[in-house]
Amino acid sequence: MLVGVLVEIKSLKEKIFTYNVPSKLIEKAKLGTRVIVPFGSRKLNGLIISYEKECEYVTKDIIEVLDDEPILTEELISLGKTMSEKYISSLMICYQSMLPSALKFNKKSLNIKYDKYVEKVFDLENPSVGEKNILNLFNDTDMVKLSLIKNKTILKRLIDKGVLKEVVKERYRLSSTYDKCDLKTLTPNQKKAYESIMNAKNIVTLLRGVTGSGKTEIYMHLIKNVINNGKTAIVLVPEISLTTQLIDRFKGVFQDNVAVLHSSLSDGERYDEWRKIKDKKVSLVIGTRSAIFAPLNNIGIIIIDEEHEDTYKQENNPRYRLIDIALERAKYNNAKIVLGSATPSLESYAKAKVGRYDLVELLERVNNKALPLVYIIDMKDEIKKGSPILSKKASDLILDRLNKKEQIMILINRRGYSNYIICNECGEVLKCPNCDISLTYHKTSGTLRCHYCGYATIKPNLCPKCSSKYLMLKGIGTEKIEEVLNEKFDARVVRMDRDSTSKKGAHEKIIRDFNDYKYDILLGTQMISKGLDFKNVTLVIVLNGDSSLNVPDYRSAERTFNLLTQVSGRAGRKEKEGIALIQTYNPNHYSIVFAKEHDYKSFYNKELKIRKQLNYPPFCNIVAIRIISTDYEIGNKEIQKIHKYLNTNLNSKYVVLGPSVSLKINNTYKFQLIIKYKEKELLYEVLKDIDKNIKNKNIKAEIDFSPVKL
């Protein structure tokens, strides 16, 4: 038997070779198993990815098969090939992105942990006292942990009689505790939405439901139905900070039938969860982006929650969009896809509008709770009044809520204490030595830190340039606000940002403690803006509502609208009415005004017009070509060469923009060209050519379809 083996070797572009499977390995050498093969005088790791009929050259024998069972299903093997083509990415990298790191090619396998149990086979008549003591342990269960049985002599006797039997079970590292709960009965509106999704005619249904409309409940009913029909389901969430509460809800309902996959798991936990899925012990997988590669069979539904989120795009190779992978898997499995969001991405809503997706809208909150009242505060006025950080209205409302024993969430998009330090005498701004970026002051640790490369240093007392002692802290971050709140109010404040959640489990703890009313105010970065559901929060304050507006990107208005809608949606989700307060310097910007009015459709219409005028997605597609180099000259020369090549080889249907160069980050420059296109045929040929022809070892090239950041 001949097979195609993908080998792990950096120096070659072509990496698939034909090998012979010797008869003693025929049983084990299946598609998707890892093998060791001879290659010249070396031995290489490889993966069987095809069966081959014949070969024009003499083939060598596979030396060893490493896996007892394939680690990739046939479906995933073929998906990898599609991805490699589509994203102009190496096949090996595509497969590696599907696997837990414990199964990566050159890693040593992690051990699987086992527990020993004893199982009761039949009831013993007239047991002795000692036997009875042991058998009593089996009164409400068929299985007991071996370590719980103390008298090993009698145990052995019972085993010899065949009454008890020793069994070994895999132990999963991730603890699975949950409070059991039942599915709620859907409200008539939810029920209608559920039915529409069930009867959708497209593969994809876009479920636009305002915040608190009960989308999660609908997901659970859909999944229940799928599982009852013997199929499996995947739920994708944008980031782990949003999953804590959601996972609790899913685990409560589906209990041990759930596996969880996300990046905060240890390698061991991740491997265990992956095996649960592979061994068909669970029917439901919840996780972040890469959970889409869960080795499930017979998928019935794929749910992508908060579908507009940027985290659904992978930022390193293979640079895939989740929806594209989900579509491949849905087609293979004949499954449905549900995209859920209160603020769908413009692209998705446009697809729904032209009928490529089914559109289901839930415009009321559960039990018709009103959406929060949103106030916009013009900070230009507040500065004149002398309250540059916290407006008068914000302070008043905070006091009011504290008195009523209701809780408050405050969002500020920047961590640290002050976001830059400037010398009042010479004007020097303290910058990172590796980046063209100013350093952020972190008061808690007394350090200056670069948020781009991780550089950290003790804060100096004197200006490094002119030795003046007048160093001014400018701009505000979470730590500063925490200080202000503590000075101004008698309140229990908890801060949630990347610094306060770096320890494993810190995140979950803050959320649970806040939910249990151990704090009055939750202060945080975007981390707190989405997905969280606290019953006692009646006030949400956004301190700098336009920070995302000032980013030069065609999606900045959309991001601002989404963020403001999501964060105000955290207020008043249960019985109590909620208020959201947005502090801004652009009170008349349409993304802020429409967010205040909860008017997605007007925002969509306005933004779509602008996109059309400027020719941006959804009216075209975008691919970015980047050259990354530590040497400015080398990078610049290379990108100019590519620019020229594009101009000669692409016709006038393609628009090439750039090149532009980024600020220096971590001592490297990023040069970028953007291509706007509608058809990709010619483009693919050209891009593949570029990819092939970059030979300079001192630079790195990236081809990025639908880039998240321009």
| Amino acid letter, 302 | I
434 binds, among ligand ADP, Zn ion, none (CB under 5 to 8 A by kind): Zn ion
Tell whether residue 222 is a contact of ligand ADP (CB under 6 A).
no
Neighbours of 250 (CB within 10 A): 23
Site string for ligand ADP, 560-599 (x = CB under 6 A): -------------x--------------------------
Q: Closest approach of Cβ 422 to ligand ADP, in Å?
A: 42
Site string for ligand ADP, 658-697 (x = CB under 6 A): ----------------------------------------
Which CB, 211 or 333, lies closer to ligand ADP? Answer: 211
Using alpha carbons, select from 267, 257, 313, 259 the residue that is nearest to residue 290.
313
What would the two tokens of residue 136 be?
A: 């009593």
Tell whether residue 338 is a contact of ligand ADP (CB under 6 A).
no
Q: Closest approach of Cβ 499 to Zn ion, in Å?
A: 16
Strand stretches in 248-314, DSSP E: 258-261, 284-287, 299-305
Q: Closest approach of Cβ 563 to ligand ADP, in Å?
A: 15
What would the two tokens of residue 243 be?
A: 């999953």
Q: Closest approach of Cβ 437 to Zn ion, in Å?
A: 6
Tell whether residue 213 is a contact of ligand ADP (CB under 6 A).
yes
Among 324, 378, 483, 533, binds ligand ADP (CB under 6 A): 533
Tell whether residue 215 is a contact of ligand ADP (CB under 6 A).
yes
| Amino acid letter, 285 | V
How many Å apart are CA 639 and CA 633, to the nearest integer?
10
Q: Closest approach of Cβ 167 to ligand ADP, in Å?
A: 39
Which CB, 434 or 547, lies closer to Zn ion? Answer: 434
DSSP per residue over 307-320, as a string? TT-GGGB--SSS--
Question: Tokens 């090939």 correspond to what residue?
Answer: 81
Q: Within 13 Å and on the Cβ side, how many CA atoms surround 189? A: 17
Which region, judged by CB under 5 A, interacts with Zn ion, from 8-16, 24-32, 155-163, 430-438? 430-438
Among 375, 452, 645, 677, binds Zn ion (CB under 5 A): 452
217 binds, among Zn ion, ligand ADP, none (CB under 5 to 8 A by kind): ligand ADP
Which CB, 437 or 579, lies closer to Zn ion? Answer: 437
Q: Closest approach of Cβ 501 to ligand ADP, in Å?
A: 22
The pair phi, psi for residue 82, each rounded to 5°, is -60, -45
What is the DSSP pairing of strand 447-449 with strand 284-287?
unpaired
Which region, judged by CB under 6 A, interacts with ligand ADP, from 185-193, 427-435, 470-478, 601-609? 185-193
The pair phi, psi for residue 302, each rounded to 5°, is -125, 125
Neighbours of 256 (CB within 10 A): 12
What is the DSSP pairing of strand 2-7 with strand 16-20?
antiparallel
Question: Who contacts 13 (Cβ-Cβ below 8 Å, separation ≥6)?
Answer: 692
Q: Closest approach of Cβ 218 to ligand ADP, in Å?
A: 8
Question: Tokens 């009044």 correspond to what residue?
Answer: 385
Q: How far apart, in Å, are the Cα atoms of 508 and each of 245, 362, 456, 493?
A: 9, 29, 27, 16
How many Å apart are CA 593 and CA 498, to the nearest integer?
30
Which CB, 375 or 452, lies closer to Zn ion? Answer: 452
115 binds, among Zn ion, ligand ADP, none (CB under 5 to 8 A by kind): none
Which CB, 215 or 626, lies closer to ligand ADP? Answer: 215
Among 468, 486, 550, 660, binds Zn ion (CB under 5 A): 468
Neighbours of 430 (CB within 10 A): 20
Tell whether residue 361 is a contact of ligand ADP (CB under 6 A).
no
How many Å apart are CA 73 and CA 93, to the nearest integer?
16
**How much is the CA Rg of the chain, to the nearest whole Å?**
29
How many Å apart are CA 167 and CA 146, to the nearest integer?
9
Among 186, 389, 579, 592, binds ligand ADP (CB under 6 A): 186
Using alpha carbons, select from 329, 346, 436, 454 the residue that is nearest to residue 78.
329
Q: Label residue 434 exposed, middle or buried (CB < 10 Å: 0-12, 13-18, 19+).
A: middle
Q: Closest approach of Cβ 535 to ligand ADP, in Å?
A: 7
Tell whether residue 432 is a contact of Zn ion (CB under 5 A).
yes
Site string for ligand ADP, 307-336 (x = CB under 6 A): ------------------------------
455 binds, among Zn ion, ligand ADP, none (CB under 5 to 8 A by kind): Zn ion
Among 184, 380, 404, 609, binds ligand ADP (CB under 6 A): 184
What does the H/E/C string look like for 420-437?
Answer: EEEECCCCCECECCCCCC
What would the two tokens of residue 153 be?
A: 């002599």
Contact 572, 369 (CB under 8 A): yes
Among 435, 624, 625, 675, binds Zn ion (CB under 5 A): 435
Q: Closest approach of Cβ 504 to Zn ion, in Å?
A: 25
Alpha-carbon torsion (501, 507, 513, 515), positive or negative: positive
Among 20, 45, 187, 314, binds ligand ADP (CB under 6 A): 187
Which CB, 101 or 468, lies closer to Zn ion? Answer: 468
Tell whether residue 148 is a contact of Zn ion (CB under 5 A).
no
How many Å apart are CA 583 and CA 390, to the nearest integer?
8
Question: Who contacts 27 (Cβ-Cβ below 8 Å, separation ≥6)?
Answer: none
Tell whether residue 413 is a contact of ligand ADP (CB under 6 A).
no
Among 20, 45, 96, 190, binds ligand ADP (CB under 6 A): 190
Among 466, 506, 610, 614, binds Zn ion (CB under 5 A): 466
Among 189, 216, 536, 566, binds ligand ADP (CB under 6 A): 216
Which CB, 341 or 501, lies closer to ligand ADP? Answer: 341
Q: Closest approach of Cβ 536 to ligand ADP, in Å?
A: 12
Tell whether residue 428 is a contact of Zn ion (CB under 5 A).
yes
Region 394-423 residues binding Zn ion, contact defined as CB under 5 A: 423
The runs of H, that is alpha helices, within 97-184 are 129-136, 152-160
Region 60-89 residues binding ligand ADP, contact defined as CB under 6 A: none
The runs of H, that is alpha helices, within 64-199 are 74-86, 91-96, 129-136, 152-160, 188-198
215 binds, among Zn ion, ligand ADP, none (CB under 5 to 8 A by kind): ligand ADP
Using alpha carbons, select from 631, 634, 624, 629 the residue that is nearest to residue 690.
624
Residue 217 DSSP SS3: helix
Q: How many residues bind ligand ADP (CB under 6 A)?
A: 16
Which chain residues interact with Zn ion by CB under 5 A?
423, 425-426, 428, 432, 434-435, 450, 452-453, 455, 463, 465-466, 468
Which chain residues interact with ligand ADP by CB under 6 A?
184-187, 190, 209, 211-217, 366, 533, 573
